[in-house]
Amino acid sequence: MTTLLCNEDAYMREFDATVTAVTDKGVVLDRTAFYPGGGGQPPDAGTLQAGTDEYTVKKLSRANGQIVHEIEGEEFPAEGASVHGVVDWERRYSLMRTHTALHILCGVVWRDYGALVTGGNMEPLTARMDFELESMSADFAREVERTINEEVAAERDVHVAVHPREEALTIPDLIRTKVNLIPESVQQIRTIDIEGLDLQADGGLHVHNTREV
Give CA–CA dist 90/102, Å, rounded: 18
Which sign, positive or negative, has the C-alpha torsion 97, 99, 103, 106? positive
Using DSSP's 3-state secondary structure scheme, residue 33 falls into coil
Residue 169: predicted pLDDT: 79
Per-residue pLDDT tens, the chain, 213 aa: give them: 899 999 999 999 999 999 999 999 999 999 999 999 987 899 999 999 999 999 999 999 998 889 999 999 999 999 999 999 999 999 999 999 999 999 999 999 999 999 988 889 999 999 999 999 988 899 999 999 999 999 999 999 999 999 898 888 788 777 666 455 677 777 888 999 999 999 998 999 999 999 999
Residue 181: predicted pLDDT: 63
Dihedral (C-alpha) 177, 182, 183, 187: value to the nearest 10 degrees? -160
56 contacts: CB under 8 Å, gap ≥ 6:
45, 47, 71, 72, 73
Interhelix angle 89-113/138-153, nearest 10 degrees = 120
Residue 121: predicted pLDDT: 93
Residue 178: predicted pLDDT: 47
Q: Could you tell me if 73 and 81 are in contact, meaning their C-beta atoms sit under 8 angstroms apart?
A: no
Residue 180: predicted pLDDT: 59
Q: Which domains are delineated in the chain?
A: 3-87 (2.40.30.130), 92-212 (3.30.980.10)
Residue 177: predicted pLDDT: 63
Q: Compute φ and ψ for 124, nearest 5 degrees.
A: -55, 120
Instruction: Please give the angle made by the CA atoms of 98, 104 and 109, to the nearest 5 degrees.
Output: 125
**How does strand 14-22 pair with strand 82-87?**
antiparallel
Closest alpha carbon to 85 in 46, 36, 43, 42: 46
